[in-house]
Every structure is written in C-alpha cells, then in structure tokens.
Amino acid sequence: MEKAKRRCVILEKEKILEELSEKYGKLCRTIAKNILHNDEDAEECLNDALLALWNSDFPENPGAWLCKTVRNIALNRLKYRSAEKRGNGNAEIALSELEECVSAEDEAKNCIDEIVFRDALEDFLRKQPAEKRNIFIRRYWYLFSVSEIAKDYGMTESKVKSVLFRMRNDFRKKLEKEDIV
Amino acid sequence: MSKNALEMMNNIDDDMIFSAMETPKKKGKILSFKKLRWTAVAAALALIVAVPVVAETLRLETEYNSEEEKWEVKSREFVSYYSLSEEIREDAKNWKDLFALGKAFWRMEQVEEYLGFELPKNKYLPNPSYFSIRSEGKSYQGKYWVRPWSDPEGKVCDITIKGTTNGHLGRITEITTTYRIETAIDETTLAGRDFLKENRLHKNGELETFTNPNGIDYVIFVKRNKTGQGLNGVEGYIVVDGISITVEARGYQPEELYERVKTVMENFE
C-alpha cells in the first residue's frame, strides 16, 4: 500500500515536471544560454534545475522557481568557468553595469539588508513605465544582449543603452537618497 | 561579478520577471537613412499613382481636366458596366489593359444608352496629333489613335479607340454615318501580304470571318507581341461590327488568346 502510494506520488511528480519542462523549458534554456552561450551547458542547467525541483518540496510558483534556479545554476557555472580567467561575456558585462549602482561587494555586505535592497529595487521598477521596466529586467535578469533587446523592441542599440544608463543612474540616486548605499 | 548585483536581481518579483518576457509592442522598423530615402521615393511614386486614381474617382460626377481624361473615366465605368461575365472579369485581370478588353464588347447602342443621348452624327473629328491613318484605300503603318466621335455640345462622348498597331498594316476603308471604322489588312501591298502570312492563325490561310450564334460577324487576328516587354506578350485585333479593336494580353500564347477571344465572341450578343 505504501509502495503504491509512493509510486503515485512519483508518477504525479513526473507529470508535473514534464509539464513544467514543456512550458518553461524554452525560456529556461534561453536564460541559461544568455549567460553561458552554449546550448549543451544550457540544457545541463535546465536538467540540474529540474532535478533540484524533483528533490524539493514543490514551491508555490514552480515556473518562477525553475527560471530563477536555472539562472543561478548558470551564473554559478559561469563563475566557475571564469575563476581562472575573467570573462568578457554578455553576462559579465551586464552585471558589471549593475555594479555601477550597487557598488562593490564589500560595501554591499556592509549595508546589506537583502530585503531592503529587494524592496528598493521592486519599488523602483514598479514606478517605471512597463517598457523601461521590461528592458531593465531583460537586460539584468535574463541577461539578454543589448542588440537582442533593441531588435525585440524596435529600437536602436544606443537607445536601449541610453534607457539602461538612465535607469541605473536613477536607481543609484534612489539608493543614495534612501541611504541604502 | 558582484554577488550583490546577482542577489539584487535574483529577488525581484516573479510577475515582473514573466511580464518582461511578454512580446513587446514593436514601434515599427527602424529605417536607416538609405532605406528612408528609398521609402520616400516609393511613397512619392505611390502618391503620384494614387492621387490621380483618387482624383479620378472623385471627379466621376464632377469635372474633368480634359476631354480625354473625362472619356478615360467614363470608358472605365462603361467597361465595368458592360463586362459580360465573371469569367471575363477574371480574364481581364490578365489583360494588360482592361480598357482594351472592354472595347471588345461595346456596341454603339450600348454606348448611347450608357451616355443617355444619341451620338452626334456626321461629326467625325479626328485628333491630328494622335491620328495617323490614311484613308481612300491607302495603307498606313504605325501607331494610331482614333477618336471618331465628339459631342458638339461638349458633353461626354469623345470616344477613343486606342490601339497600337506597331508595324501592322491597315487602312480605313469606310467611315459610315454611324461612325464605324473598318480596319482591315490591305492585301494589295507587300507588307500587308507579309503580315497575313506571318500572323494569321487561320487554317486556310485566309482572313476568316466568323458569325456567332447571335448573328454578329467578327474577325480575329492574333500575333505574338514583338514589342511587348513581357514574355508571352500577345496582341491582335478583333473586328466586330465594323469596329476594330486592339487586344493585348500577357501570359498567353497566341493560340490561347485566339481561342479565348473566339469563345467570348461566340457568346457575344
């Protein structure tokens, strides 16, 4: 009886994973590929994330969880890959851009209150027009290249860069104003 | 890579993350100056084409810049009014000039009915600038435009038979009081005989006059259009009821055009 019950749970989990994989697989691969620039690595990231999901208690929003986990795995892999040699890929460039407003790690650690940061960022993003907000997230969360974003939004690359630059400045000003950094 | 930057972005709201991936509304293509220049040229060309069309439509019930323009508009109306069947309409799409096709089907009575008054008699007023037909049995060669009717009161009825003979040989043999023009090949000339030899598609080598079930006599000449720019350009004459009509088509072989015209003429009332 216990065995049958376990079997049912496994089957159910398999089904959910299959559905999630079908629904979010493409997006997750894109996220990982934006970071790692490699199809196989991206696929591995997705598999790792699915495995992690299998082993976890299913989160409330498994889609978002999967995307975030894939992103983290890909970033960790990137970090590992660039441990010896500083890369100059899209992800590094995007994140280094962000550092302009978030400042260095140590400084961040000093003032860190992740919740404060998260709230400040969310507040900042919510007050932005949808298009600007999405551009920002595409660049710094999904780590799309500027050219890809420009293409998707029918803008020039310089326009996208300018939008991002202004948003970073505004965000930095907000952080300074609220005495977060 | 700043850990802080990663963490900061990692924790943003799920909804924001997903909505960022929704398809953005594109603002339209970005045109380079080069493309823009060509777009401007294309737009200008379109305007040049479109403006007269619109103007023509608007002027239907109002005024025309010239008699020629007025007739052009009226004749197009006439063509659509008298197109005989859907099949012909369909065919007309393949014809270089719908106007030319329409000419194949008009009748004097219909013209008068359409115009709403009788055409003036004995007012044959050719326009010298377009008219290069010799009469009295003498042959002519080259393009010709015939404008045999003109309304002395300047109302509407300046009817143009616009044809390109492009080296064909023909002559006016008769201008009757009903303003009919008969165009025929002058077999007394060498060029005329050559034309017949080269171009006619009749089995017996003679100009054959057909009579359709409704008693209408007609003659068809069809030849490959040597001066046409497209492939399979075909042109020819239909002489029906004493009026010669030039037909031109693209995408047909001469034999096909001949058969099609014949089919149409057989059903013509």
Which pLDDT tens digit goes with each residue over A35-49?
888 788 888 888 888
- Residues making up chain B, counted from first to last: 269
| Model confidence band, residue B115 (pLDDT cutoffs 50, 70, 90) | very low
Q: Do both A77 and A117 map to the same domain?
A: no
Chain A residues with CB-CB distance to B30 below 8 A = 154-156
Average pLDDT, chain A: 77
Of the partner residues A72, A137, A154, the one whose CB lies closest to the CB of residue B29? A154
- For residue B3, the chain A residue with the least C-alpha distance is A105
B32/chain A closest Cα distance in angstroms: 10
Pairwise CA distance, residues B66 & B69, whole Å: 5
Residues A65 and A94 in one domain: no
| pLDDT bracket for residue B177 (50, 70, 90) | very low
Q: Which of A81, A99, A115 is the last residue of a domain?
A: A81
B2 or B181, which is more confident: B2
Closest residue on chain B to A143 (Cα): B9
Same-domain status, A73 and A107: no
Domain boundary among A81, A104, A134: A81
Q: How many domains does chain A fold into?
A: 2
Cβ–Cβ of A122/B16 closer than 8 Å?
yes
Q: Catalogue the E-assigned strands of chain B.
A: 140-141, 144-146, 161-163, 169-175, 181-184, 210-211, 217-224, 234-240, 243-249
Which A residues in the span 54-113 are in contact with B, Cβ-Cβ below 8 Å?
Answer: 61, 63-64, 67-68, 71-72, 75, 78-79, 82, 91-92, 95-96, 98-99, 102-105, 108-109, 112
| Range(s) of the domain holding residue A116 | 90-177
Q: Are residues A58 and A94 in the same domain?
A: no
| Same domain flag for A121 and A169 | yes
Q: Of A119-133, A146-160, B199-213, B255-269, which range is least confident?
A: B199-213
Whether residue A47 sits in one domain with residue A29: yes
Q: Is residue A110 located within the same domain as residue A60?
A: no
Is the same domain home to A75 and A94?
A: no
**Does ipTM exceed 0.90?**
no
Q: Which pLDDT score is estimated for B239?
A: 58
CATH number at residue A108: 1.10.10.10
A152 pLDDT more than 80: yes
Higher pLDDT, B14 or A111: B14
pLDDT computed for residue B240 by the predictor: 57
Size of interface A-B (CB pairs under 8 A): 103
- How near does any CA of chain B get to the CA of A35, in Å? 12
Confidence of residue A21 (pLDDT cuts 50, 70, 90): confident
Percentages of chain A per state (helix, strand, coil), in multiples of 5? 80, 0, 20
Continuous H helices in B83-164: 86-92, 98-103, 108-115
Best CA proximity match to A168, nearest among A139, A142, A145, A146: A139
Mark which of A36, A61, A81 sits at the end of a domain.
Answer: A81
Does the pLDDT at position A90 exceed 80? no
Q: Determine how many CB atoms are found less than 10 A away from the CB of residue A171.
A: 21
- A67 & A114 share domain: no
Chain B residue whose CA is closest to A138: B20
Q: How far is A9 from chain B (nearest CA, A)?
A: 27
Does residue B90 carry a pLDDT above 70?
Answer: no
Do A131 and A68 lie in a common domain?
Answer: no
Are residues A77 and A101 part of one domain? no
Higher pLDDT, B9 or B89: B9
